[in-house]
Each structure stands twice: as C-alpha cells, then as structure tokens.
Amino acid sequence: MKEPEKNEIKRLSDQLDALNRKEPQLLESGEAEKLGELLKEKEVLVAEIERLRDVRDQKLSKEAEKLMKLPFSREITKKEQADMGTLKKTVRGIVVVHPMTALGRELGLKAMTGYAKKAF
C-alpha cells in the first residue's frame, strides 16, 4: 500500500529534476526572466517536498508510537516467516514490521519483528 505523500513527493521530485535539467540551458541562453521564474518554481517545489516529508515522518512516528505501546513484541522466526498466514490467524491483531521498511528503519529493527497485545 503506497501512501499518498510518497506518490506526491515522487511527482514533485520528478518536476524538480526536470527544472534542474532546464537551468543550464537557460543560463547559456542568458534569458534572465525565464531563469528567475525557474528559480522561484524550484523554491516552491523544494518547500512542498520538505513539508510532505515532515507529514510522512509524523505519520510514521505516530505508528511507531502505537507499536511501542503494545505489550508484547519479539522477532519472527524463519519458520514463522515462511508461513505468515498461519501466524496471522493464530495471533489476532499481530503487526509484523520488516526492518527494511520506513517504519522498521525508524524503530531501528535488525530482524522482522511482530507486535501484539498478548504473547505469541
């Protein structure tokens, strides 16, 4: 599931890259007016990208906080990872976080970890 902030950040970053590629051409041609507009547009894009990244980080922090409040967590064994469907059926409400996801990196995980309300 992709969050809308990630898609919007990607779209704006692509626009910023396009503007960065146009900048040298405008410098060579000496069109100061167009160059000024380009720089203003770049500033707006950079500010919006930063705002969206902050929103995304806040969402991740809230989600990480919720997981940390759950009373039980432990690493998921290789055998359990191989049969996640069974694990999720036996442990209702389990949340599994992979260390390579943004949430996993924020939590500082080294291995796939499960968070639940009761021991599993």
Mean pLDDT of the chain: 89
- For the entire predicted model, the pTM comes to 0.63
Is the distance from CB of 81 to CB of 41 less than 8 angstroms? no
Confidence tier at 1 by pLDDT (50, 70, 90): very low
66-120: pLDDT as tens digits: 888 889 889 999 999 999 999 999 998 999 999 999 899 988 899 999 999 988 8
Number of other residues whose CB lies within 10 A of the CB of residue 112? 19
